[in-house]
Structures are given as C-alpha cells and as structure tokens.
Amino acid sequence: MQTIGNIPQIIKNVDDLYVGDLVHYFRVVFNHARNLRLPYHNFRHMFHVLWLCHQAGMYYKKELTRRDIRNLLIAAMFHDYDHRGLIGDDDINIVLATRGLERHILDEDRPSFNVIRSLINATEYPYKGPSESLSLSAQIIRDADLSQVLSVAWIQQVVFGLATEWNKKPIEVLAMQGPFMSSLKFHTEWAQKLFPQSDIEAKIAETRLFLDLLNGSATQ
C-alpha cells in the first residue's frame, strides 16, 4: 500500500491525486468550525478521517475519478463540521455539517454539492442503511470514520473524549468498547487490509485488560 504524506501535503495535493487543492476548505474548517476543541469530535478526528480517505483514494485511484476523490475529501473535512458534542440526535449534526459546507462551498464544487452531502449523510450514526448499499466513496468515509477505535491514542481520543461529550464516566465508555468492536465490520477492501480482523481482536483483548486492571481482577 502506497505511503501518503502529511496533512499539509494532502491539502496542497502534492500527489496530484484529485482536482485542484483543498486550501480554501482547510482555512474554512480551521478558522470557522465550532467543534475543533471538543474532546472527541474535534480537529484531530476530522483530519484523521481526511487522512484515511486520502489513503483510500490512492488505493482506489483506478476505480474513482479525480473528481470523486475531491468530493470524498471535502466530505471528510466537513462530516463533523460544527458538531455539538452531545450524545444522540446525530441527524442534527449532519444538518449543521451540511449547512457549513453550503455556506463555504466554492463555485467550482457547487455542481457536486449533492454528491458531497450524500457522503456526509452516510456518516450519520446509527446508520440508516447497510454499507453494502452505498457507493464506494460512501463506504470509504464510513470505514474511515469508524477506524479511530483502532488507533494508538484511542484511550484518550475515544474513551475519555466520548466520556466527556456524553457526560459519562470513562469506565462506562471503556466497557462499551468491547461490544462495539466485536460488531465492527469494515466494508472496503482497503480498510480490511489496513485494519485486519486480528487487529480488531487485539484491541478487544486490550480493552478487557484495561477493564481487569480497573476492576481489580488482574493478576498481581
């Protein structure tokens, strides 16, 4: 799998993977999005999804057009734009993200607005439809959005982040991770290769070890 660059390189399109560049949208998100300091739905999460979608775009550059990849990356940058950081009612967050995109979309991207909006809509959770029924781009953004539970920083980003947003104790969110990961299923070939089932099982085991430590049942 081809190695990709850092966020500035992706924004400037140094790999010439898609049409144009994303400098305008980066400035919009960085300067105007109201969720960038949230514990979970923050700048790190949004641009982690962008980074992964770019990687997927490189993997599928024979299947996706340069316009398709640009649409996917814009959707990734805006999928949680102005997220409220509250549990439930994710449809409201989708509306806020779509409004942000509509306010700031470039004229050159306006003909693709409905396509980009449909990709943002695909990230609404719980999902309204099976991933199998979605376009390849929509499957990619869903897979990228789910993947942060498998990152090295998942305890800080996911467990403590969501605990703060949901007004729950971190151990409550930690206890939810095992069941969530047990049902986790990536649908694209790209994500399945990047996050094999063995990685998911290892993260489930890690979650159990953390719970054992916190509940006092670990071997001394």
- pLDDT, tens digit, for every residue of 1-10? 444 579 999 9
Q: Mean pLDDT in the chain?
A: 94
C-alpha 200/C-alpha 183 separation (Å) is 10
C-alpha 21/C-alpha 35 separation (Å) is 23
- pLDDT, tens digit, for every residue of 33-72? 999 999 999 999 999 999 999 999 999 999 999 999 999 9
- With beta carbons less than 8 A apart as the criterion, state whether 57 and 69 touch: yes
Residue range 194-206: average pLDDT?
96
- With beta carbons less than 8 A apart as the criterion, state whether 79 and 120 touch: yes
C-alpha 157/C-alpha 77 separation (Å) is 18
Nearest to 85 by CA among 207, 12, 168: 168
pLDDT of the residue at 2: 47
pLDDT tops 50 at residue 220: no
Q: Cis check for the bond before 126: say yes or no (omega within 30 of 0).
A: yes
Degrees (nearest 5) of the Cα angle 189, 50, 112?
Answer: 90
C-alpha 26/C-alpha 30 separation (Å) is 6
Enter the DSSP assignment of 196.
Answer: -
Residue range 17-39: average pLDDT?
98
The CATH superfamily holding the domain 7-215 is: 3'5'-cyclic nucleotide phosphodiesterase, catalytic domain (1.10.1300.10)
Enter the DSSP assignment of 132.
Answer: G
Instruction: Identify residue 13 by its one-letter amino acid code.
Output: N
In the chain, what percentage of residues exceed pLDDT 90? 90
C-alpha 110/C-alpha 147 separation (Å) is 29
DSSP-derived 3-state class of residue 145: helix
pLDDT of the residue at 88: 86
Q: Which residue has the tokens 């790209």?
A: 190
C-alpha 80/C-alpha 49 separation (Å) is 10
- pLDDT, tens digit, for every residue of 112-159? 999 999 999 999 999 888 899 999 999 999 999 999 999 988 999 999
Report yes or no on whether pTM surpasses 0.85.
yes
Tokens, residue 75: 């959707």
Nearest to 35 by CA among 207, 161, 143, 212: 161
